[in-house]
Structure 1
Amino acid sequence: MTQVSSQPIGIFDSGIGGTSIFKEIHQLLPHEDIIYLADSKNAPYGYKSKEEIIALSKKNTELLLAQGCKIIVVACNTATVNAIDVLRSTYNVPFIGIEPAIKPAALNSKNKAVGILATKGTLSSELFHKTSELFAKNIEVIEVIGAGLVEAIEQGNIGQPSTKQLLSQLLQPMLNKNIDYLVLGCSHYPYLIPLLHELLPKDVVIIDSGEAVARQTKNVLQQLSLLEKEQKKASIRFYTNRSEEILKNFVPEFPVKYLDF
């Protein structure tokens, strides 16, 4: 299928986390129509097998392509590192992925110690290990699986004391190693940044990939002459296969519909 500039951008994630990526893309490209799929029913992807992640990613991609999307943003670290190569070789549409921004953390760390908070599916992936080996040779990388964090965010429990306590426990191994950079390796985690600022020393720099993903999306659309040419009000559609109310809390100004997928 030949893509045209007036077609929408498609975004999918294993739930609401990718809305952090959506916000960066919408801010940078305010006239682009966007369709967002929240596969909350299957969240988190981080504990699923590679085969399951690929199957879910294909299902999401096909739904977005059926809606005429001109580019697909895989707004999920786990899906990117496990499935994006398969997606690119299967479908004739550009894909943008998201992976932990270990490179800037490793290059800028003065303490030579950086923390990575991510899902099991991301930390155990081949792509993550290749990136880590390439850029963090002389750096101590403290990897922590954010067990329970995606579930807490998906259930709307960010403000609960139990979430703060869980996050505090997960950060402890990193604090013990005196990290000066914390890389967020899951698109859900930017919603924890206010809590992280409370729990981390002031000099720890938090890196998430949202802005970089938005810039890359714009670059690819520009290169392929697919940027929206009209200065119009964008049509934004959100679909979820779980609670509309929870997704609506993260994007209150946009319509959210239930879709059984």
Structure 2
Amino acid sequence: MNGGPIGIFDSGVGGLSVWRQVVHCLPSESTFYVADQAHVPYGHRSADEIQSYCLAIADHLVRQGCKAIVVACNTASAVALEPLRDRFPSLPILGLEPAVKPAVQLTRSGVVGVMATPATFQGQLYRATVGRTASAVQVVEQVCTGLADLVEQGDLEGPHCDAVLQGFLAPMLAAGADTIVLGCTHYPFVIEAIRRLVGPSMAVLDPAPAVAKHLSDVLRQADLLAPPGAEAEHRFFTSADPASFDRAVARLVGAQCSSAALMWRSGPELCQR
């Protein structure tokens, strides 16, 4: 299994913010990225829907020989991580949770802002993290409806993007937050715009580098690392339009690819075409 790829999936292009950190941290590892753009965004969907999509994608990744899976979506991690681990108990499966703990360690004002989707905020994973690590600070939860859609559309800068971001940032700034947590993998693609709007004194946390480091540690402990110098292959799949996705990959992470389509057939089962 050492030569198998790392499976990474998200509802759309947001998980590419995790993918690029994995590739940077583990340059010898091959990857298999799935964007479920037919159902993006996950943030407003029911837990049952999200679990169904995630289990189908994970089944597909396992059939492709993936040696580990990264759920590169905070919403999916919040509601589907444990069902995925129950289905594949011997497979390393990593998820994401908002970086509340490091934010608590960084804050000087005692106020931390978290930008995320409703499903992430309602998930047991997020609630447990806040209860365990943030009892001594005020956590301002900001639902960012539509922000993932902007990233999917490539609207990453300019007056419209700034106006949307300012609407989300204002309540956290008014509450005195000096640290902001990006609780969705789409949001790091507008991190420079956020930093420009909030100023240099605000810490803005992207959890993707820590996820890549943790993945490296997990693979090393399981003796699943690819041999140093192995030639990595990166494959991309989408459940929507491959040409549009290829343009997004080039725009967001600078990688040139020719993705294939994954279509939904009877039930939630994925098939390649």
Give TM class, smaller chain: over 0.9
Cα displacement string for residues 192-231 of structure 1 (whole angstroms, at most 9, x for unaligned residues): 1111012103211011110110011111111110000151
Question: What is the 5 A alignment of 1:85-234?
Answer: 85-91=82-88, 92-234=90-232
Call closer, same or farther: CA 1:107–1:251 in 2, change over 3 Å. Answer: closer
**1:37 aligns to what?**
34
Cα displacement string for residues 27-63 of structure 1 (whole angstroms, at most 9, x for unaligned residues): 0110111000011111111111111111111011011
- CA distance in structure 1 between the aligned counterparts of 2:178 and 2:38, rounded to whole angstroms: 35
Aligned pair partner of 1:63 in 60, 64, 69: 60
- CA distance in structure 2 between the aligned counterparts of 1:133 and 1:108, rounded to whole angstroms: 17
Count of residue pairs brought into register by the alignment: 258
SS of corresponding position for 2:43: helix
- CA distance in structure 2 between the aligned counterparts of 1:186 and 1:259, rounded to whole angstroms: 23
Cα drift, residue 160 of structure 1 = 4.2
Aligned pair partner of 1:257 in 257, 260, 263: 260
Cα drift, residue 159 of structure 1 = 2.5
Cα drift, residue 72 of structure 1 = 0.4
CA contact (8 A) 1:107 1:135 kept: no
Amino acid at match of 2:140: I
- CA distance in structure 2 between the aligned counterparts of 1:258 and 1:222, rounded to whole angstroms: 32
Q: RMSD across aligned C-alpha pairs, in angstroms? A: 1.3
SS of corresponding position for 1:225: coil
Call closer, same or farther: CA 1:163–1:131 in 2, change over 3 Å. Answer: same
Call closer, same or farther: CA 1:155–1:206 in 2, change over 3 Å. Answer: same
Percent of residue pairs bearing the same amino acid type: 36
- CA distance in structure 1 between the aligned counterparts of 2:263 and 2:156, rounded to whole angstroms: 26
Runs of 4 or more, structure 1, over 4 Å off, are none
- CA distance in structure 1 between the aligned counterparts of 2:118 and 2:240, rounded to whole angstroms: 23
Consecutive unaligned residues of structure 2, counting only runs of 5 or more, are: 265-273
Instruction: Confirm or deny that 1:51 pairs with 2:48.
Output: yes
- CA distance in structure 2 between the aligned counterparts of 1:165 and 1:208, rounded to whole angstroms: 21
Amino acid at match of 1:152: L
The TM-score with structure 1 as length reference comes to 0.95
**2:270 aligns to what?**
none
Amino acid at match of 1:50: A
Cα drift, residue 144 of structure 1 = 0.4
SS of corresponding position for 1:32: coil
CA contact (8 A) 1:237 1:254 kept: no
Cα drift, residue 257 of structure 1 = 2.7
The TM-score with structure 2 as length reference comes to 0.91
Amino acid at match of 1:96: L
CA contact (8 A) 2:157 2:190 kept: no
SS of corresponding position for 2:225: coil
